[in-house]
Structure 1
Amino acid sequence: MVTSIEEAKRKIEDASLRANKLEKPQFVSIVKQIAQFDPLSVYYNGRHLYEGKRFFWKDAYEPFYLVGFDYAHIIEKNKGRDRFKYVEEEWKRFIEGVKENKTPFGTGNLLFGGFSFHPYQKEDNLWTSFPVSRFYVPKVLFTSYNNEAFITFNRYIKQGESVEDIIKEMEHIEETFLASDILPSQVYERNAVQHEVAPEEWKRAVKHATEQIRSGEIEKVVLARELQITFHEKIWSEYALSRLLEEQNLSYIFAVEQDSQCFIGASPERLVKSVDGEVFSTCLAGSIPRGHSAEEDEKLGEELLNDEKNLFEHRLVVNMIEKAMKETCLNVYAPEHPTLYKVKHIQHLYTPIKGKAKEGTTLFELVEKLHPTPALGGYPKEESVEVLEKLEVFERGWYAAPIGWLDGDGNGEFIVGIRSALLRGHEASLFAGCGIVGDSDPQSEYEETKTKFKPMLSALGGMNNDK
């Protein structure tokens, strides 16, 4: 971490000398402590320079924010079942070639990105800007953690580059992005048009799935559907983020821009986190709406805690995650009974699982083992995914898939991209799914997805639209 402009200059000059000597660009990270900032304002202030190249991340459990801009280094793969291994190997290769000292948590040459749900995607789908795997080290990264704040500048230093010009660029970005904490308001028009994509076909798919489950082909499958909204104006992700931060403060809030598209959401569900070898995962399956009063809310929660269907769904997820973690971790522990995890519109059965990573176990290995959990795909894993591929009428893309970050020491976290939407200009596609078991009722499951649409509907100003 640098403490002065002079120190930053020396670091860049050293990289420039190496670049000239080795005749190839040299990567450098400049980390500087700054005053606390408003993450959403920084995200907004970076729009004019980096629209289409921004990301936003808010932790669900602690005051940890990441706001990133542009790409200093990209790792991408367009298809293939080896995508997890490919990204990991490319990341290892990058880290081995970088000469950097340890930096504060969440700073430096941090990698951010995600995978698609399936290892292959159709060419003519919604997700034109989101390949099966895309990760990058941001060129500019703002980090806020435990009352400390930092800015990181990541870049390759080329032969002959002006050190003074690089320093001026860094100073301009810091000054511009921290210039204002005021976010202008945007009011979406109330005559936005909503269109449910094939709702009756989805209900028939649920019925068909229950028949397959009762026949013993699978035990559970998660079926998702799409809700499209068309506005008369462009949807800016910062305004949706503002609503999500206000209304979904107990969830992970994320936004990932790629060109003219933005994947955004408020996910309550951690896939896996690893810090100094300690591994944490979350089982979140089985849900019921929140009550209109404290009394009704408590009653609904008790109903969920004693509902056989939801407890069965939840136990499938716990068993699968526990098994996967025992293969990769020591001292795996999961509470015997679930508790409730309550967010604004819905409450879930919740079981945290933790363990200690075995020697050599990596975060990408854990992600590959866990994705998709029975909460996102079904059970057994491969058979249920085959069923949902046949029955769903849209391409999942990054919906319900792993999104997250990691550093050069192997610390990081991945969540699953649920309670989410894909923004495309003046159009938005919202996604929601639910777990189907043998006694699932199509209409009840349909109503559950309507509840799960609410976080993004509210964020986009569409809660009062029922067209």
Structure 2
Amino acid sequence: MAFIKAGDGPYVVGLGPFTSHAAAPDAGTAFYCNDFTLSDPEPWKVPTETREVESLEEIGLAPVSSSVTWQDLDPEGFAAIFAEINEMIGRGVIEKSVPVATEHGTLESGHGCSLMGNLTPLGAPFYSYGWSDGERGFCGGTPELLFELDGRQLSTMALAGTAKADEREVFAVDGKEIREHEFVAQTLVAKLSDIGSVTRAERSIMDLGQLVHFHTSIEVELFALRGVDELIRRLHPTPALGPLPRTEQTLQMLADWRQRMQCPEQFGAPFGLLKDGTFRSVVAIRGLHWQGAEVAIPSGCGVIEASRLVNEWRELRLKREAVKAALGL
């Protein structure tokens, strides 16, 4: 099964079995599900049945009492990767990259899929999402939209820079966080300016309860119609989740760093829904991943020259705590 919920709207649910396709269907509903490296040759998943519901309990996903035995994270492994990124920045190979730390655990009883019903109903600005395929799956509530496409109108966002909600005032003038955000916003504008007329809003602060982020809305009137798959490959990964500059070399570095920290393949990947001719893809962050009773919560942070290890390690923990709270863990 699969679902996406935008803000205060209903859950759009796809029930299987699914058929997989290399290209989006001409009509009907399809989910886009791929990994971070976009390696699936048939990422379009067409459900047998589609439903719109106000609650996941309507499709049998009720909250359950769950307990997870968590493993301690390895700060030394992350510190080593942080040092390697700093070395690459010092050598001028990259300006930014996004390492990931993953907390692993084991359910004391049950299957990871059962936790989907625990997902707190989240309104705007969150997008709730989930996917379950046999023994594996993921679910979460992400604040980040990769893009929405309706004809020639494309909407996207820059979402980068993080702080605790009670640090909002100092966050608003934090030079490091502003620079990190501007890397993302300016790169997105550059990537889109050759295919459409771009309108960038002013930078604002998005309030997510426990956390705040810098947020910039970007609207594009495309010069011509563009395919969804082409736009996904153009925009993913954005500098909020990927390296800057984005080259074959820097992407491979990031893939190696993610693998060393046992990052789930779908973390930060595009997860989308095509319905009634409109496509919306979220960035699959702030979520739980599972295989059987084994569960994982990954979190990433943007590292630039001004970043400091202790601050980034703290940010990673705050993001994982927000996911645990949303899932009653």
TM-score scaled by length of structure 2: 0.90
Shift of 1:257: 0.7
| Partner residue, 2:35 | 116
Question: 1:36 is matched with which residue?
Answer: none
Aligned positions of 1:142-153 closer than 5 A = 142-143=51-52
1:344 offset after TM fit, Å?
2.6
Superposition deviation, residue 185 in structure 1:
4.1
CA contact (8 A) 2:152 2:225 kept: no
Per the alignment, residue 280 of structure 1 pairs with 155
Structure with more contact order per residue of length (Cα contacts < 8 Å, sep ≥ 6): 2
Which residue pairs with 1:188 in the alignment?
Answer: 66
Call closer, same or farther: CA 1:322–1:184 in 2, change over 3 Å.
closer
Match of 1:257 among 115, 128, 132: 132
For residues 238 and 250 of structure 1, do their structure 2 counterparts lie closer, same or farther at Cα, with a shift above 3 Å needed? Answer: farther
Which residue matches 1:308? 175
How do 1:90-129 residues align onto structure 2 when only pairs under 5 Å count? 90-91=23-24, 94-95=25-26, 109-120=28-39
- The 1:321–1:342 alpha-carbon spacing in structure 2 relative to 1, beyond 3 Å, is same
Q: Which has the larger radius of gyration?
A: 1
Distance in 2 separating the partners of 1:183 and 1:265:
14
Q: In structure 2, what is the equivalent of residue 361 of structure 1?
A: 226
Question: 1:292-317: per-residue Cα shift (whole Å, max 9, x none)?
Answer: xxxxxxxx222222111111111111
Change (3 A) 1:403 1:453: same
Considering fraction of residues, name the structure with more helix. 1
Asked if 2 retains the 8 angstrom alpha-carbon contact of 1:207 and 1:441, the reply is no
C-alpha displacement of 1:202: 0.7
Equivalent position of 1:218 in the other structure: 94
Q: Secondary structure at the match of 1:221?
A: coil
Secondary structure of 1:142's partner? strand
Q: CA RMSD in A?
A: 2.4
Alpha-carbon displacement from aligned partner over 1:396-436 (angstroms, at most 9, x marks no partner): 41110111012473x21111111112122222111100000
Counterparts of 1:361 and 1:64, CA distance in 2: 28
3-state DSSP of counterpart to 1:435:
coil
The C-alpha deviation readout for 1:177-224, integer Å capped at 9, x for no partner, is 99x6886542123xx321144331111211221122122111000000
Q: 1:457 deviation in Å?
A: 1.5
Please tell me whether the aligned partners of residues 5 and 12 of structure 2 are also in contact (alpha carbons under 8 angstroms): yes
SS class of match (1:322): helix
Task: Give the 5 Å matches for 1:233-382.
Answer: 233-235=109-111, 237=113, 239-245=115-121, 250-291=125-166, 300-330=167-197, 332-335=198-201, 337-382=202-247
Which digits, 9 at most, give the CA deviation of each residue in 1:369-402, with x for residues without a partner?
1111100012001243232223331244111011
Task: Give the unaligned 5+ runs of structure 1.
Answer: 1-53, 76-86, 96-107, 121-130, 146-176, 292-299, 463-467
Unaligned runs of 5+ in 2: none
Q: Matched residues, percent identical?
A: 22
Query: Aligned equivalents of 1:244 and 1:460: distance in 2?
Result: 6
Q: Distance in 2 between matches of 1:182 and 1:397?
A: 27
Could you tell me which residue of structure 1 aligns to residue 4 of structure 2? 57
Q: Secondary structure at the match of 1:367?
A: helix
- Contact conserved, 1:58 with 1:254, CA < 8 A, in 2? yes
2:47 matches 1:138 = yes
Q: Distance in 1 between matches of 2:264 and 2:115?
A: 24
Q: Which residue of 2 aligns with 1:172?
A: none
- Alignment-mate amino acid for residue 274 of structure 2: L
Q: Following TM superposition, by how much is the alpha carbon of 1:140 offset from its aligned partner in structure 2, in angstroms? A: 0.7
3-state SS in 1 of match to 2:241: coil
1:445 aligns to what? 312
Matches of 2:152 and 2:207 in 1, distance apart? 29
1:208/1:301 CA distance change after superposition, 3 Å: same
2:251 to 385, 398, 422: 385
- Is the Cα–Cα contact under 8 Å of residues 203 and 443 in structure 1 kept in the other structure? no
In structure 2, C-alpha distance between the alignment counterparts of 1:329 and 1:455, rounded to whole Å = 36
